[in-house]
Amino acid sequence: MRKIKNALVSVFHKEGLEEILKTLDDKNIQIYSTGGTYKYIENLGIKAHKVEDLTSYPSILGGRVKTLHPKVFGGILARRELQEDLAALNSYEIPQFDLVIVDLYPFEKTVASTSNESEIIEKIDIGGISLIRAAAKNYKDVIILPSADLYPEFAELMKNGDATTTLEERRKYAAKAFAVSSNYDTAIFNYFNSDNKINNLRLSEDAVKTLRYGENPHQKGYFFGNMEEVIEQLHGKEISYNNILDIDAAIRLIADFEDTTFAVLKHNNACGIASRDTVLESWHRALEGDPISAFGGVLICNREVDEATAMEIDKLFYEVLIAPSFSNDALSVLKKKKNRILLKLKNAKFAEQSVRTALNGFLVQDSDLKTEQNSDLKTATKVSPSDSEYVDLVFANKIVKHTKSNAMIIVRDKQLVSSGVGETSRVDAFKQAIDKAKNFKKSTEGAVVASDAFFPFADNVELAHSVGINAVVQPGGSIKDQDSIDYCNANGMAMCLTGTRHFKH
């Protein structure tokens, strides 16, 4: 056990600090402080010592140097079990600091709020980060409170522990301190390396949400990040690990569509999607894509959900519904089922890189943010697609970009007819899509098909022609592209090449 006798307090955020300070004062603990923090403590009617009186140096360089002094760091780093350390403190009249309270300059918030580099640079904390590391290093003798986020729990510790701390508590706060410092340094590095010229991976995220479980009940699951920046939960049960994967896939998909569009997803893949003039009609046409798979799925729309649409959606059991807004009447309908998750989409901005674990490390790549438009489709055949086929080819290509490989997407009139998903053979993926269309009694006559990767043989275009599909879009790039092009030319089919593959594993 260590009794706190002297505390050093130097913070940026002061809200929530008052309770801790009053407890320290009640326990007759000597408080040393700097600048604005000292004035704050003084205004509370609590006695404190100025650090500059201890060091005999004022705050200089516009506040850049306040605590960087042996009389401060000596009192933090001295090892109480070493007589030579204690002798040095006594010789130089340095108090032993048992508690250090520091809250760093808000670097990340500053970066998010301004592009003024001078302002950003001034929010790189030097003294504070040094105090945190020093106190954490000497956790055997010193307890460190490194963040305003920890004020409430530390206030309870001080009240319940009679201003004494155990080694276990000090070590725990040391770990939290190094979490704060490492996250802070990562943010600074990523700011300076925003052009990625230094090829190092630095990931750090303090915000964590514990999920009910991971992908399966026997796996633990967590979400690191501020989900509330992207979505706002309006109703329903707690979001699960699998929900988050589907929500992410749904938001990425819908972001590629500008017209009024509704989509239904299952296991990260679209099983229904359609664009129409109204939300209600888009919903009906999307559901037609695969009404069986839609059961228990994730639904997303890029327009406000109205009451009429809500009443139709309410007929289906689903896990999640996402939209930029809901009418009040729609919410009244949708909230009748307590577990149904309703999410307001606030922001669809995506990271420029994606990261995943592999082997004993990480795979990092640029995110697939390319979405082909009409101008990206280059006709490779004698016959060009009709105007309506061009629209459908672009529509289908957007869907296939977000579908697990190997993928084949059949579309007609801006509606997903059927899809072949996640097959080891592209021909099998196409056959899966055709069979699904037949099972739901949907004609493929006059439809178009999109592939996420090139055709190594002409078999896919032969299959397309056999079911009445006469317009195809694919990346191209096979050494046998000409075989597919020749077949299309011989049979009056149109083929467009995009030059961009969209594998998704």
> In angstroms, rounded to a whole number, what is the distance separating the alpha carbons of residues 496 and 485?
10
b/e 427-455 (16+ beta carbons within 10 angstroms → b): bebbbbbbebbeeeebebeebbbbbbbbb
Distance set, CA 6 to CA 72, 94, 285, 365 (Å):
12, 11, 70, 50
**Choice among 123, 137, 209, 335 that is catalytic:** 137
Closest to 495 in 3D by CA, of 466, 460, 445, 467 = 460
> In angstroms, rounded to a whole number, what is the distance separating the alpha carbons of residues 168 and 173?
9
Q: What is the DSSP track for 94-121?
A: -PPP-EEEEE---HHHHHHH---HHHHH
Q: Are 100 and 145 in contact (CB under 8 A)?
A: yes
Distance set, CA 437 to CA 193, 222, 473 (Å):
49, 38, 19
Q: Are 247 and 298 in contact (CB under 8 A)?
A: yes
**Choice among 50, 172, 235, 267 that is catalytic:** 267
Q: Where are the beta strands (DSSP E) in 116-207?
A: 143-145, 164-165
> In angstroms, rounded to a whole number, what is the distance separating the alpha carbons of residues 51 and 66?
8
> In angstroms, rounded to a whole number, what is the distance separating the alpha carbons of residues 70 and 77?
10
**Residue 267 annotated to the active site:** yes
Which active-site residues does the annotation give? 137, 267
